[in-house]
Amino acid sequence: MDPPRSLFPELPPAGHALLRLVDSCRSPAHLCALRAAHARLLFLLRLPSHPASAAVRVKLMQAYAACAALPAARAVLDSSPDRSTVFFNVLLRGLTAASLHRDALLLFASMRPQGPACFPDHYTYPLALKSCAATNGLILGLQMHSSTARLGLDGNAFVAHSMISMYARCGRPDDAYQMFEEMLYRDVVSWNAMISGFAHAGLFGRAMDVFRKLVAVQCPKPDAGTMASILPAMEKARMEDITLLRGIFDKMQFKGLISWNAMIAIYTNNEMHVEAVELFMRMQKDDIEPDAVTLATVLPSCGEVSALSLGKRIHEIIKRKRVCSSMLLENALMDMYASCGCLKEARSVFDSMGARDVVSWTSIISAYGRHGHGREAIDLFEKMRGQGLEPDSIAFVAVLAACSHAGLLDMGKHYFYSMTSRYHISPKLEHYACMVDLLGRAGCISEAYDFIVTMPIKPNERVWGALLGACRIHSNMDIGLLAADNLLILAPKQTGYYVLLSNIYARAGRWADVSTVRSVMESKGIKKLPGVSNAELGDQVYTFHIGDTSHPQSKMIYEKLTDLLQRIREMGYNPEVEATLHDVEEEDREGHLSVHSEKLAIAFVLLNTSPGTPIRVSMNLRTCSDCHRAAKLISTITSREIILKDVNRIHYIAQGLCSCGDYW
């Protein structure tokens, strides 16, 4: 934009042309042109004697800051004989934008000694307070608060917002809230600063309380900044709060990209993956261009619900936007393909990466492990080590889980003990849970129990849960009851453990004990988490529950399923009634099994796709043994690949064989 001539009436035409050039220099690529313009202005105007000298030098400082040439901006400041507060504010803004907060605070401290013309003003203090917050400089922040109060600047909205953020980020959230409460006028930025302050301090409940108050006062209205501020507090949010936020989002007249990203992230963080995928699809229909944050946020949800078609479209968007050099996105792509059962595509992304970190290697190791390819996972782990990358704690979780899924007992023990002996990594509860799962799945129930008893740290519910799961697989009643006793103390309302215990009783034919477990659950108000299966068709993810009749094609789905079950019965299939839910009456167990959500999803996809199309179904629970066996037989009679992704692993089924080798 041309600088108005009225601001620089003393400048000759050539000076105005040079200032237009200075204004256009806004990136490091323009630095040479800026230096040339600066040199020409020095010669033309004979700075600093020219009447317009101060204003021109401010413009030069702004341009140097925009070009990330802060030493040059500082040189202009230092060479100015008539410097003022404006000069310092320009450089302060550049330093804080570059996160050079200590340099910014040193510059701030040098202002007052320069004389009254350089005293801090209502633009200076917000910048300096931001640097205090970033460096945990509470003492200096308190001094600034005192200074602003003395100067009457503490009533300025920008100063107050910065003060709230400073107190919250320096560990004084109560002082931040007092500042907020004392404000005579609170705009939406004030509320956002307080919400963000509590969220940053980890006081998520208080952040939500302020957010609800903002909604209740109705004016000001929450905006995109509110969405971004509340995001950290919504990690494990209540459904009513998510619904409240979605209502605000839907009512926003102008939804910026920040708002879309925040709402998608809230769904993803709360495991509402279908909703995250649907919102991203709506975003595309509204012609909102996603950025790298959007794509990295929605890709995990695509994997969770096996939305492969959408995942592939996102991959194309990434290629079109040329952001594949982002390791975060490449890792997310790899996980998405692996979660959708596309191990070949996941490996292709991995192999094409220009650079890989430990997270990249851990992702591909985990992908092979979840697919039951334990030895390949170990090979990748060794290749990572061979390239000089030290495995971290999470990498060891991945390789131990891979050994557990594949039954590689000796290798799992080797890696567990090498953590401490070779890498000096102290095992955490996740590693102990993997070892108990490894031993338990291999049938070493007593050894797994002894392992827990001798643990140097107190076992948590995941450790005991792994043992209880192994006891169910191997029908070990005695140790299973010991595990259940500990679990019901640690997690008295965790539904899954009651169900595991009831299944142990059911396998032993002790139906009276099954009824006892059911009675205990009823008395405590505990209900079994309903099984949910998702299947993608076209641009939509369809969700099925056990015995679901809500789908418009419900009649056809059940007819298809009845036909499938009849055909696999002719191949020797008999429902495994001991695998059914413990809260079903004995005479209805077989019928209950036939309408499990994964069977309905498989029938739905078969009904709506052409022969040879792979069937992908994702679940929120562990698939039952009956559905697993039925899926293998259905894959045979239909010549379809079936990918069942449950909460523990991925079952890739083709022609009656599963990648898990029936070891799960």
Residues β-bridged to residue 657: 654
Read off the pLDDT of residues 317-345 as tens digits, 9 standing for 90 and up: 888 877 655 788 999 999 999 999 999 99
> What 3-state class would DSSP assign to 480?
helix
pLDDT for res 5: 46
Residue 342 is given by DSSP the state -
380 backbone φψ class: left, alpha, beta (φ>0; ψ -120 to 50): alpha
Q: Which residue has the higher pLDDT, 565 or 491?
A: 565
**In terms of Cα–Cα distance, which of 417, 467, 460, 478 is closest to 444?**
467
Look up residue 660 and give its amino acid: C
Local confidence band at 588 (pLDDT 50, 70, 90 cut-offs): very low
Complete DSSP assignment for 136-182: T-HHHHHHHHHHHHHHT-TTSHHHHHHHHHHHHHTT-HHHHHHHHHH
In this prediction the pTM is 0.79
* Token reading at 390: 């030290």
CA dihedral 409, 415, 421, 427 (to 10 degrees): -90
With residues binned 3-state (H G I as helix, E B as strand, rest as coil), the percentages for the chain, rounded to 5, are 65, 5, 30
Q: What is the mean pLDDT of residues 269-276?
A: 93
pLDDT of residue 578: 55
Range from 78-92, 199-213, 463-477, 488-502 carrying the lowest mean pLDDT: 488-502
Q: What mean pLDDT do residues 278-282 have?
A: 94
Residue 593 has a pLDDT of: 66
Rounded to whole angstroms, how far apart are CA atoms 580 and 577? 5
Q: What's the angle, vertex CA 529, arms to CA 526 and CA 531, rounded to 5?
A: 155
The more confidently predicted of residues 50 and 363 is: 363
Q: Which residues contact 375 (CB under 8 A, 6 or more apart)?
A: 406, 408
Q: How far apart are CA 525 and CA 531, in angstroms?
A: 18
Q: For residue 589, what pLDDT is reported?
A: 47
Q: What is the pLDDT of residue 195?
A: 93
Length of the chain: 664
Across 614-643, average pLDDT = 93
Contact present, 137 and 167 (Cβ < 8 Å): no
- Is the confidence at residue 4, as pLDDT, over 60? no
Predicted confidence (pLDDT) at residue 349 exceeds the cutoff of 50: yes
With beta carbons less than 8 A apart as the criterion, state whether 596 and 565 touch: no
Alpha-carbon distance 93 to 162, whole Å? Answer: 14
Query: Would you place residue 51 in the very low, low, confident or very high pLDDT band (cuts 50, 70, 90)?
Result: low
DSSP 112-136: GGG-GGG---TTHHHHHHHHHHHTT
User: What is the three-state SS of 263-289?
Assistant: HHHHHHHCCCHHHHHHHHHHHHHCCCC
Mean pLDDT to the nearest integer, 201-217: 90
Q: What is the rounded distance in angstroms from the CA atom of residue 267 to the CA atom of residue 541?
A: 15
Q: For residues 319 and 164, which has the higher predicted lDDT (pLDDT)?
A: 164
Task: Give Rg (Cα) of the chain.
Answer: 31
- 616-626 pLDDT, tens digit per residue, is 999 988 888 88
482 token code pair: 């010991």
Contacts of 282 (CB under 8 A, 6+ apart): none
Residue pLDDT, tens place only, 377-435: 999 999 999 999 999 999 999 999 999 999 999 999 999 999 999 999 999 999 999 99
pLDDT at 1 over 50: no
Of 140, 137, 60, the C-alpha closest to 94 is: 60
Q: Is the pLDDT of residue 85 over 80?
A: yes
Residue 220 backbone class (left: φ over 0; alpha: ψ -120 to 50; beta: rest)? beta
Give me the pLDDT at residue 622, please. 87
**Structure letter (DSSP) for residue 647:** S
pLDDT at 372 > cutoff 70: yes
The structural domains of the chain, ordered by start, are: 1-72 (no CATH), 436-523 (1.25.40), 532-658 (no CATH)
Average confidence score pLDDT of the chain: 89
pLDDT at 373: 94
Assign 645 to helix, strand or coil: strand
User: Taking a C-beta distance cutoff of 8 angstroms, is the pair 510, 562 a contact?
Assistant: no
What is 177-207 written as a DSSP string?
A: HHHHHH-SS--HHHHHHHHHHHHHTT-HHHH
pLDDT mean over 624-641: 94
- Contact criterion met (CB below 8 Å) for 601 and 643: no
What pLDDT sits at residue 9? Answer: 54
Lowest model confidence (mean pLDDT) among 66-75, 379-388, 593-602: 593-602
Confidence of residue 2 (pLDDT cuts 50, 70, 90): very low
Tell me the pLDDT tens digit for each residue of 100-140: 999 999 999 999 999 999 999 999 999 999 999 999 999 99
Sign of the CA dihedral 297, 299, 305, 309?
Answer: positive
Chain-centre distance for alpha carbon 577? 39
Q: Which of 100, 74, 99, 101 is nearest to 88 (CA)?
A: 74
Distance CA 74, CA 70 (A): 6
List the Cα angle 14/18/23 in 5-degree steps.
145
Dihedral (Cα; 9, 15, 19, 20), 10-degree rounding: 100
pLDDT above 60 for 26? yes
| Closest of 653, 650, 593 to residue 619, by C-alpha | 650
- Residue 50 scores a pLDDT above 80: no
Closest among 607, 497, 611 to 544, alpha carbons compared: 607
